[in-house]
Each structure stands twice: as structure tokens, then as C-alpha cells.
Amino acid sequence: MAIIVNLDVVMAKRKIGLMELADKMGITPANLSILKNNKAKAIRFSTLDQLCKLLDCQPADILEFREE
């Protein structure tokens, strides 16, 4: 897929762990891990909105397009 999820990079820059972020978002660590490890097939705008608010970032910091 040409869309790359850089959530792990943003989380590392913000020094926040998977468990802490999942707890703040109210989702399971397993679901967040799927997104973090670039295994997700889709993301809801509400989830992206919440991630951006909690991580103080822009959607482009989390999602990247790379030509295949």
C-alpha cells in the first residue's frame, strides 16, 4: 500500500507509549498496535482527529504517501 502510517515515529517524538496512548484514547492496545505497525486497512477520521489532538500533530505527521 502507498499510504504509510508513521504513528510510531510521532509517539517516540512525544515520548508516549502504546499503553498510555491507548488508555487516553479509550481503545484497546491491540487496536492501536495494528495502526502503529502499519497493518490497518483503514482509519476513521474521528480516530485520526483524536490522535492529532492527543499527540499535538497534523494528520500529515501520521500519514504519508509513498509512490510504489
Of 53, 46, 52, 50, the residue nearest 6 (C-alpha) = 52
Q: What is the mean pLDDT of the chain?
A: 95
Residue 44: what residue type?
R
Residue that the C-alpha cell 484514547 belongs to: 25
HEC-encoded secondary structure of the chain: CCEEECHHHHHHHHCCCHHHHHHHHCCCHHHHHHHHCCCCCCCCHHHHHHHHHHHCCCHHHHEEECCC
| pLDDT on residue 68 | 77
The CATH code of domain 3-65 reads 1.10.260.40
Domain boundaries, the chain: 3-65
| pLDDT on residue 25 | 97
| pLDDT on residue 36 | 94
Average pLDDT over residues 10-29: 97
- Tell me the pLDDT tens digit for each residue of 55-67: 999 999 999 999 8
Task: Report whether 11 contacts 18 (CB < 8 A).
Answer: yes
